Each structure stands twice: as structure tokens, then as C-alpha cells.
Amino acid sequence: MKKTLTKADIVEAIYEETDKNRVDVKGVLEKLLEIMKGAIKKDRALLISGFGKFECYDKASRKGRNPKTEATITLPPRKVVVFRLSRKFRAELNP
């Protein structure tokens, strides 16, 4: 089974490559993620050149069905975030 890269793994990798301590690295990573979340919430898009673009958009309410009771329900509108790879990164993944 493939291992998922976690925030702790990222902190450890940066710690090993730099002369910063783990607390500083974790603080910088937390701030970066906070900035990214804020950008997506405010602007609804975040572009990282050579990596990809995160976009937020609204999904309309829709009809759904409870599979247990077969009852029809209306699912409320919501926001979703999608990620689109950059062409450069896609080319690296699929040589």
C-alpha cells in the first residue's frame, strides 16, 4: 500500500534539507497553508506555476436519495475545490 505524504513528513523533509529547527519549519508550513486557504476562500483560485491551479466554485442544490429508506431528499448548495495539474507537471507525470 502506498504511504500518504503528511504534513509531518513535509516538515521532516524540509528540516533535513535546511538549518532551521522543526518548530520554525512547522510554523512556516502552517503559515503557507493559511495563506493558500485564504486565497482560495477570497479569490476562489490559487495558481502555483509549474504545479497546478486550485479553484473553488459553487455547486447548486440537487436531489438525492437515502439508500436505506429510499426517501428523496434535497442536498443543499455547497462550495467545492478542484485541482487542475499544470501542463508542465502533467508532462512530467506522463512522459
| Burial letters 57-95, b for 16+ CB under 10 A, else e | eeeeeeeeeeeeeeeeeeeeeeeeeeeeeeeeeeeeeee
pLDDT tens digits, 20-35: 999 999 999 999 999 9
Mean pLDDT of the chain: 93
pLDDT tens digits, 34-49: 999 999 999 889 999 9
Please enumerate in sequence order all residues whose Cβ is within 8 A of that of 54, keeping only pairs 6 or more positions apart, or say none. 36, 40, 45, 46, 81, 82, 83
Q: How many CB atoms lie within 10 A of CB 46?
A: 20
Global confidence as pTM: 0.77
Nearest to 87 by CA among 60, 47, 27, 55: 47
Evaluate whether 54 touches 41 at the Cβ level (below 8 Å). Answer: no
44-95 folds as HU Protein; Chain A (4.10.520)
Q: What is the pLDDT of residue 39?
A: 93
Mean pLDDT across 5-14: 94
CA 70 to chain centre: 33
Residue bearing the bigger pLDDT, 14 or 1: 14
Domain residue spans of the chain? 1-43, 44-95
pLDDT tens digits, 47-89: 999 999 999 999 999 999 989 998 999 999 999 999 999 999 9
> How many angstroms separate the CA atoms of 95 and 81, rounded?
27
